[in-house]
Amino acid sequence: MRLLLINPNTTEAMTDQLTEVARRVAGPSVDIVPVTASRGVPYIASRAEAQIAGVEVLEIIAEHGKGTDAAIIAAFGDPGIIAARELFDMPVVGMAEAALVTAALMGERFGVVTFSPLLARWYVESVAVTGLTDRFTGVRCPKTPPSEVGNVMHDMRDDLLALTNQATEEDGADVVILGGAPLAGLAPLLAEASPGLLVDPISAATAQAIALSRLGTSYAHRTTRPAPKPSKGLGPALAAIIAGETS
Amino acid sequence: MRLLLINPNTTEAMTDQLTEVARRVAGPSVDIVPVTASRGVPYIASRAEAQIAGVEVLEIIAEHGKGTDAAIIAAFGDPGIIAARELFDMPVVGMAEAALVTAALMGERFGVVTFSPLLARWYVESVAVTGLTDRFTGVRCPKTPPSEVGNVMHDMRDDLLALTNQATEEDGADVVILGGAPLAGLAPLLAEASPGLLVDPISAATAQAIALSRLGTSYAHRTTRPAPKPSKGLGPALAAIIAGETS
Amino acid sequence: MRLLLINPNTTEAMTDQLTEVARRVAGPSVDIVPVTASRGVPYIASRAEAQIAGVEVLEIIAEHGKGTDAAIIAAFGDPGIIAARELFDMPVVGMAEAALVTAALMGERFGVVTFSPLLARWYVESVAVTGLTDRFTGVRCPKTPPSEVGNVMHDMRDDLLALTNQATEEDGADVVILGGAPLAGLAPLLAEASPGLLVDPISAATAQAIALSRLGTSYAHRTTRPAPKPSKGLGPALAAIIAGETS
Amino acid sequence: MRLLLINPNTTEAMTDQLTEVARRVAGPSVDIVPVTASRGVPYIASRAEAQIAGVEVLEIIAEHGKGTDAAIIAAFGDPGIIAARELFDMPVVGMAEAALVTAALMGERFGVVTFSPLLARWYVESVAVTGLTDRFTGVRCPKTPPSEVGNVMHDMRDDLLALTNQATEEDGADVVILGGAPLAGLAPLLAEASPGLLVDPISAATAQAIALSRLGTSYAHRTTRPAPKPSKGLGPALAAIIAGETS
Amino acid sequence: MRLLLINPNTTEAMTDQLTEVARRVAGPSVDIVPVTASRGVPYIASRAEAQIAGVEVLEIIAEHGKGTDAAIIAAFGDPGIIAARELFDMPVVGMAEAALVTAALMGERFGVVTFSPLLARWYVESVAVTGLTDRFTGVRCPKTPPSEVGNVMHDMRDDLLALTNQATEEDGADVVILGGAPLAGLAPLLAEASPGLLVDPISAATAQAIALSRLGTSYAHRTTRPAPKPSKGLGPALAAIIAGETS
Amino acid sequence: MRLLLINPNTTEAMTDQLTEVARRVAGPSVDIVPVTASRGVPYIASRAEAQIAGVEVLEIIAEHGKGTDAAIIAAFGDPGIIAARELFDMPVVGMAEAALVTAALMGERFGVVTFSPLLARWYVESVAVTGLTDRFTGVRCPKTPPSEVGNVMHDMRDDLLALTNQATEEDGADVVILGGAPLAGLAPLLAEASPGLLVDPISAATAQAIALSRLGTSYAHRTTRPAPKPSKGLGPALAAIIAGETS
């Protein structure tokens, strides 16, 4: 099995961290193919940046998707996911959506903990998109953003544990998602000290991409693909998909 | 990996069919342990019957769950699932919930096709429980129940395909769940002729149970387990769990 | 008029307290027939315990319901109520549902006050089941559970009054339900000192059971009863109902 | 016990019919005091007419409410009910609300049957006001309004029965409300031939007014009454209430 | 263009203030025709008072609406708006609704700031009526009502600014509505110091009334007007409208 | 006043049609500045195409927005609107949103009529985004898409009128939106023959953009703009905005 892991942020180090965690979950029999965005911003933190990243996701799947069994969009907020599902004949899994759905299978109520208040609202909107808002206990985050994103997982570990416990004990979350690519791989490190069940989004996305591939669903006959049409200004692989020339 | 597959119906032949499909999805490295309900009715089709079946599910996990990595409740409607998640320290996956969540990862909107109008309403309620109602396009089923449940998958194959296509073309379902234990294994048989993506619930439940196990989440420290207390009239294994004597 | 008052908890003293309050509301012309669960736990406080209690409710109505005009399920959370309505040809009133619906007739918004944080979430879910969530101002309860349930109504009276006033003044509840069987009969004791309208659940359930009986609705022709079927492991009265042998 | 039965329509014959049914349900120990609107229209069928009727309801309770234990607003749509609950220190029951809440205690899903398409939408809105929309299966009515309202209950009896059965069999309503004052008393006449449980709104309103009175709730200390203020152009009794001069 | 500006409160000074702000927004080419309620209370602050005011709004439009292009109901809560839209063949704009809808066009989430806790709940209900609750961040107001309403805009200016900033910074409102007729014209005074986009309701209502008039929509053929009927106790202009004698 | 009218489709003829209608509504005192997308597809009809168009909208406002008072995104579905509101310090109005909000000010319930079934579902989603779903009566459209989009407004005029009348008479829409850029300017042509109030989206968007500009709201102090950051692969004007170099 071969999974395309797309980092819609332009930061390579983040791709490496995400890939390492995904490989740990997937095991040796699954091939993880990482690709980093070449258009966009270092770390997506707004709807404007996600609008741009979503197009880059389409370009990447068009160019690198051939021969893979499923694609993972590895940014919370899942930029481009609805568009990608229209265009491509394979499972497309978003990191936010996979984390939320996995949490929903583990308990009745779930919350999100993240490292910056700037992301809190967008996470709320990501939950709304899935339809799971009534089971959501909210986002817990520090009051101010960190000065640097790179190492937050270690620098803020105690704070993040405290927030996780508040999500469980005060908000009533049975399950807590540790959201944001910079927290990839944190969940097992906090598990011992946490009263809730913890979800690591990239792990959840990897497990769900494998689950969907395992089902062997046929995408060949689906009619939800948009009608073919000409386009201007896109990469050749994406233009060919939109023109209906390839699948 | 070892999965407990619980058939809350008392019909052994149904257990065999479900187990066969689950094993096909899980592959040889996963051990499927099937158990059939010894208390209840041959085929659960009402909320009253599910109330009774839910207790039997608890008794079965208490008695047979030790040494398994996850439990699958293999009846649409997932009898006892909330209760089971409270009591047991491992993932518990319901067939309805797993099918719905898997469908939600495959497309924006999903519908259900089943073989009898007697089940339609309960399916609607199962969707409501997950919170996914806004993405649900409804249930399609024949106008009258079949005279015999055992062989509906083959006897009604053409009708079920027609309903599936209506779910896609008229209701706007991107994904169609073929619901009800007697339809286990039907999805791949219809895939070639169907414009929608098809989901087989027992396959989805198996894939999700494996996905949850793969994540290696720690259940040891969770605080959602009810306080220990004495009880009357339960099997000894379940009574011990409720008394807090075992995990 | 004859009402079956079912205590799904196994504690007889609780049945006595509930019966006394019900008789006060019903007056001498109504006959209250109390029955205490013989299977289950002393005081239901989880969904797992309610799953078990719900079956016991069905067994009790099957065995003792003949000749009564309506049944009252006297535990907050109303274990088994949907199942009971399917099986039995008479009104079945749940204590939570009756309290909520009565509150909804007395004011636009209502809250719940109870004596333990362990019950808070379940009360929220009970409101969701009725559909009245948008009119609900939430649960107020102490931060820690009491050491003993038996006498909370008197031991915690001042705290409960303070919570009731917070529900009215801070949460905006026009009506406050004093929830949990151990608080049966408390509402009139707090009325003088409270700015909200207070609802005592067992009183509300009794008044509603009488109201439904008074309407003289015919249940004989309804088609929502499940199809008759064989069963295993149930008491003979319930098995006969499920087999369609009696009504 | 003494109940004020307010007909917000100006048609006396309708008041007589409603009073007769209410007395039948209430029995001889309850005194029903009927009052007909002297301002407004013969039969309220729009939101504009209900706006006007609602003020007349306030005037009537202010003038005739003293010495009664509860008030019934006997028009579907319950004109003035929220306003009346603010101003008066006793239970105020609306015919629509009481019917809906009673239906919600009798089964999981309920529908409405009425005699004219002009009312259908307003009934939908009445359900939305209660918060019970998710349990509502919709309104069934004839395609065209009757030429005369007075005798619809008898003239259209067969059609109304057919609509009732459609509500049950096609829409999935466990309970059917026969809505509109001109249908007062019809429910028992159709019960024998109907597969659903039927609710007569004025009967339900009467039973609920009695239930609320029976609870003996104290309204004396509530703080939801608007602050006293001067007014212009109102009847003296209502002006006195608004000025805080009487209760 | 000619706009009827209805103040449903009986206070003339309030009408003057509202008219002045409306004229500033509308500019010299639009004629604003103010009318003050002659029946009702000085300042509407409850649902009972709004019930009465709504009828007065109908009387005023019936008497003064001829020759105007649109009507503005200049009280938060929009008394009588649904009724007025049924009866009159021109746009009817409510101050609350216009403010909410304008806010919804300016940002994803909006809140309300007002000067008294007595109004908070009604504002929440006004939002619910529009359907925009999911985008609403709530009401911010002082803990106690002001002793006098007339000059709150200046007396409480610092407090109102602080509340506005809390709505933006703590509640996440992109847009803040300064609600209540006594705050008419405050928004531009706070704009410099506020991090959110501010909406002045009477300005929004004026801009929306002009926008609707500008569209030139034909109201002549609409079928939503209630059937003509006789009435008792209304002003002659409104009675004629209800009788279908004029439009 | 100067309004930027952005056609996110690459078809110039469509821009001309939209501009003509916008100018008619705006009158001579408003300057309409039309810009056609240079990247994307001729006519956006899928979420994938909207993902791409949304970025083009950002590029266009960045490049052409300086000196305009508001921007109109002139494609149903409003591609890029949330992103644009984050980045730019002026009102941004979407054609779908403006039409829906305008309809919501004209009546309680509204529907959409369009010329192709391929767009129906997306319109439903556009309504959901605004939060107005509970007031929405659905989309009416022909069963099959037209062979050519250019002239549908005239070729299908009778069909569109029939659909409009069904939306009013069968679905209960007080107001009907004629959706899709190719129908720009159709509403007044059907008004005479239609029982509902009709809304032309580009007219509504123009009227709303003028209304928002008229309010003179200050955007200078808002804090919702994303933190400045570097980017790759964007046009220089948009990159400068994202880098925080210009406003």
Segments in B108-155 forming alpha helices (H): 120-130, 152-155
Which residues of chain E lie closer than 8 angstroms to F194, CB-CB?
221
Judged against a pLDDT cut of 90, whether residue D246 lies above it is answered with no
Which residues of chain A lie closer than 8 angstroms to B174, CB-CB?
85, 222, 224
The confidence score (pLDDT) of residue B181 equals 86
Cross-chain Cβ contact E207/F215 below 8 Å: yes
Rounded to a whole number of angstroms, the distance from the CA of D48 to the nearest CA of chain E is 4
pLDDT tens, chain A, 247 aa long = 999 999 999 999 999 999 999 999 999 999 999 999 999 999 999 999 999 999 999 999 999 999 999 999 999 899 999 999 999 999 999 999 999 999 999 999 999 999 999 889 989 999 999 999 999 999 999 999 888 877 888 899 999 999 999 999 999 999 999 998 889 999 999 999 999 999 999 999 999 999 999 999 989 888 889 999 999 999 999 999 999 997 6
Of A1, A59, A17, A36, nearest to A202 by C-alpha is A17
CB distance A184 to A202 below 8 Å:
yes
With H, G, I as helix, E, B as strand and everything else as coil, classify residue B113.
strand
pLDDT per residue as tens digits for the range F198-238: 999 999 999 999 999 999 998 988 888 999 999 999 999 99
The confidence score (pLDDT) of residue B247 equals 61
Q: What is the dihedral of CA E19, E25, E26, E27, to 10 degrees?
A: 110
The confidence score (pLDDT) of residue E230 equals 97
Which chains reach chain B with 3 or more Cβ–Cβ distances below 8 angstroms? A, C
Phi then psi for residue B29, to 5 deg, are: -80, -5
Facing E208 at nearest CB: one of F105, F198, F216: F105
Facing C58 at nearest CB: one of B51, B80, B226: B51
Facing C105 at nearest CB: one of D132, D203, D212: D212
Tell me, yes or no, if E184 comes closer than 8 A to chain F by beta carbon.
no
The confidence score (pLDDT) of residue D247 equals 61
Which residues of chain B lie closer than 8 angstroms to C80, CB-CB?
51
The confidence score (pLDDT) of residue A247 equals 62
Judged against a pLDDT cut of 90, whether residue D147 lies above it is answered with no
Cross-chain Cβ contact B191/A102 below 8 Å: no
Which residues of chain D lie closer than 8 angstroms to E38, CB-CB?
232-233
Cross-chain Cβ contact C232/B51 below 8 Å: no
Cross-chain Cβ contact C38/B231 below 8 Å: no
∠ CA E207-E241-E3 to the nearest 5 degrees? 20
Tell me, yes or no, if C106 comes closer than 8 A to chain D by beta carbon.
yes
CA distance F238 to F241: 5
Facing E221 at nearest CB: one of F98, F195, F207: F195
Judged against a pLDDT cut of 80, whether residue D87 lies above it is answered with yes
- Are chains E and B in touch, 3+ Cβ pairs below 8 Å? no
pLDDT per residue as tens digits for the range B131-178: 999 999 999 999 998 888 778 888 999 999 999 999 999 999 999 999
Cross-chain Cβ contact E39/D234 below 8 Å: yes
Tell me, yes or no, if E239 comes closer than 8 A to chain D by beta carbon.
no
Tell me, yes or no, if A74 comes closer than 8 A to chain F by beta carbon.
no
| Exposure b/e, A220-247, CB count within 10 A at least 16 = b | eebebbbeeeebeebbebbbbbbeeeee
CB distance E92 to E71 below 8 Å:
yes
Facing A42 at nearest CB: one of F83, F86, F229: F229
pLDDT per residue as tens digits for the range E42-59: 999 999 999 999 999 999
Segments in A2-150 forming alpha helices (H): 12-26, 47-64, 81-87, 95-106, 120-130
The confidence score (pLDDT) of residue F105 equals 98
- Show the tokens assigned to C14: 């609780």
Rounded to a whole number of angstroms, the distance from the CA of C73 to the nearest CA of chain B is 15
The confidence score (pLDDT) of residue D76 equals 82
Rounded to a whole number of angstroms, the distance from the CA of B47 to the nearest CA of chain C is 5
ipTM of this complex: 0.96
Which residues, at least 6 apart from F225, have a Cβ–Cβ distance to it below 8 Å?
A: F86, F87, F89
What is the overall mean pLDDT for chain B?
A: 95
pLDDT per residue as tens digits for the range E116-137: 998 899 899 999 999 999 999 9
Please count the other Cβ atoms lying within 10 Å of the Cβ belonging to residue A170.
12
Nearest chain C residue to D192, by CA:
C221
Tell me, yes or no, if C226 comes closer than 8 A to chain D by beta carbon.
no
pLDDT higher at E150 or F62? F62
Tally of residues, chain C: 247
Judged against a pLDDT cut of 90, whether residue F246 lies above it is answered with no
Please count the other Cβ atoms lying within 10 Å of the Cβ belonging to residue C234.
20
**Residue carrying structure tokens 């009158």:** F27
pLDDT per residue as tens digits for the range D15-56: 999 999 999 999 999 999 999 999 999 999 999 999 999 999
- Show the tokens assigned to F133: 């779903």
pLDDT per residue as tens digits for the range C48-83: 999 999 999 999 999 999 999 999 999 989 999 999
Nearest chain A residue to B22, by CA:
A215
Facing C194 at nearest CB: one of D25, D107, D221: D221
Rounded to a whole number of angstroms, the distance from the CA of F233 to the nearest CA of chain A is 5
| Exposure b/e, E5-14, CB count within 10 A at least 16 = b | bbbbbbbeeb
Mean pLDDT confidence for D115-121: 89
CA distance B79 to B122: 12
The confidence score (pLDDT) of residue C149 equals 78
Q: C46, C85, C130: which to substitute to probe chain B, counting the most B Cβ within 10 Å?
A: C46
Which chains reach chain A with 3 or more Cβ–Cβ distances below 8 angstroms? B, F
- Exposed/middle/buried for residue F232 (C-beta within 10 Å: 0-12, 13-18, 19+): middle
Tell me, yes or no, if A121 comes closer than 8 A to chain F by beta carbon.
no
Tell me, yes or no, if D134 comes closer than 8 A to chain C by beta carbon.
yes
Cross-chain Cβ contact E207/F211 below 8 Å: yes
Judged against a pLDDT cut of 80, whether residue C150 lies above it is answered with no
- Grade residue C224 by pLDDT with cuts at 50, 70 and 90: confident
What is the overall mean pLDDT for chain E?
A: 95
User: Which parts of chain B sit beneath pLDDT 70?
Assistant: 247
Q: Cα separations (Å) of C74 from A81, C2, D142?
A: 49, 16, 42
Rounded to a whole number of angstroms, the distance from the CA of B191 to the nearest CA of chain C is 33
CB distance D191 to C217 below 8 Å:
yes
Q: Give me the amino acid identity at F220.
A: A
Tell me, yes or no, if B232 comes closer than 8 A to chain C by beta carbon.
yes
Of A227, A47, A202, nearest to A123 by C-alpha is A47
What is the overall mean pLDDT for chain F?
A: 95
Rounded to a whole number of angstroms, the distance from the CA of B202 to the nearest CA of chain C is 24
What is the overall mean pLDDT for chain D?
A: 95
Please count the other Cβ atoms lying within 10 Å of the Cβ belonging to residue F92.
28
